[in-house]
Amino acid sequence: MAHVIMNPMAASLLHNHQRMTEIYVITKGYGELGFGVPEPDGCYHQVAAGSAYEVPVGIPHMLRNKSSGHLEHLVFALPPFDPADVHLFGEKRLAEEVRPLSLPEVQECFDGAKILSYAFPRLDLSIAFGWVINNPARRKQPHYHKKITEFVFVVEGNGFIEIDRVRQPIQPGDWIRIDPETEHALINEESPEDMVVVCTCSPAFQMEDVHYRR
């Protein structure tokens, strides 16, 4: 996983990968993710915090920051990123069609958070862009998974992660791996602001793999 910060109005070069599939997750800012065969085809999709897109093997793509602030995003590469598998398209461009911003409906998560949920069946992977709310009524007991490995990236806010009954403070930029059979919970109890996180599950999240200690 790469955490990328793009300068205002910057753009990446149009490129593809012959072996890697990528997932782009926008964490801050506003921009346009373009992908498809260069002109006359291809298009751009408006993206903002909470957007997530899969870019399959072989598909040309690029990201451009359309704001006067930073555009921050995570890029997941499967298999792991290989700089030798970056192929540029020179002066070729995508068609300038821009599709409007589209985000999934907000869901109430079993652990008390609110999430935007994405599933990537071909990769057996799921991603949730969520926010942990400082509200004791929403706080749930820690849980664990028997099959799932979970990765948590902290986008904004401060709080705690409880791992096997041990609580540790977390802050923006932290990246936490949670292995199967590890009891865990995200906690926001000191800040009035929500703690924003990206949670990635491999294999994909299933409610049947949520378990509690007796």
Alpha carbons 194 and 131: distance in angstroms, whole number: 6
The pLDDT of residue 42 is above 90: no
Contacts of 84 (CB under 8 A, 6+ apart): none
* Torsion sign (Cα): 49, 142, 125, 209: negative
pLDDT in tens, 50-73: 999 999 999 999 999 999 999 999
CA distance 104 to 6: 24
Domains and CATH numbers, the chain: 2-99 (2.60.120.10), 107-209 (2.60.120.10)
Listed in order, strand segments (DSSP E) in the chain are 2-6, 15-16, 21-28, 30-35, 43-48, 52-55, 61-65, 71-78, 87-88, 98-99, 107-108, 114-120, 125-132, 149-156, 159-163, 166-170, 175-178, 184-187, 195-202
Q: What's the confidence (pLDDT) of residue 91?
A: 82
DSSP letter at 29 equals S
The pLDDT tens digits for 140-175 are 999 999 999 999 999 999 999 999 999 999 999 999
Q: Which two tokens stand for residue 158?
A: 């401060």
Q: Is 1 helix (H, G, I), strand (E, B) or coil?
A: coil
In terms of phi and psi (left: phi > 0; alpha: psi -120 to 50; beta: otherwise), the region of 9 is left
What is the per-residue pLDDT for 2? 96
Residue 214's pLDDT is 79
Instruction: Specify whether the CB–CB gap between 127 and 75 falls below 8 A.
Output: no
Q: Is the per-residue pLDDT at 40 higher than 80?
A: no
pLDDT tens-digit series, residues 85-140: 999 998 888 888 999 999 999 999 999 999 999 999 999 999 999 999 999 999 99
Alpha helices in 52-107 (DSSP H): none
pLDDT value of residue 190: 86
Strands 107-108 and 30-35: unpaired
Side by side, the strands of the sheet bearing 98-99 are 87-88, 15-16, 61-65, 30-35, 43-48, 98-99
Nearest alpha carbon to residue 198 among 110, 132, 140: 132
Q: Contact at 8 Å (CB) between 70 and 49? A: no
